[in-house]
């Protein structure tokens, strides 16, 4: 059995839903239903992703040009603070 849900929409959101419904020749409720289904699928998939998996493509993508930055980062920070003080 289907249930009914009532929501309040901003004018922009309502306009966008109406525009999409006209363009796709669907009812507005179909557009909302499709959007909710997509959201729930993405929500379920991202709920199991670890923070590392979200940023692993970024790791190593930036080179500072400083060879020992990982080992001597404290010294570099102190030097930077002294310069800017």
The two tokens of residue 85 are: 């003080």
Structure tokens at 17: 């839903």
Model pTM above 0.75: no
17: left (phi over 0), alpha (psi -120 to 50) or beta: alpha
Read off the pLDDT of residues 66-83 as tens digits, 9 standing for 90 and up: 778 778 888 888 988 888
> In angstroms, rounded to a whole number, what is the distance separating the alpha carbons of residues 14 and 78?
54
**H helix count then E strand count, the chain:** 4, 0
pLDDT in tens, 21-55: 999 999 999 999 999 999 998 888 776 778 888 78
């Amino acid at each position: 059995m289907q249930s009914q849900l009532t929501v309040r929409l901003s004018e922009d959101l309502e306009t966008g839903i109406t525009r999409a419904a006209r363009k796709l020749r669907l009812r507005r409720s179909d557009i909302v239903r499709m959007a909710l289904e997509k959201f729930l699928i993405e929500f379920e998939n991202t709920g199991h992703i670890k923070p590392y998996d979200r940023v692993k493509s970024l790791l190593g993508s930036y080179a500072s040009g400083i060879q020992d930055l990982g080992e001597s980062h404290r010294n570099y920070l102190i030097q930077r603070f002294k310069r800017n003080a």
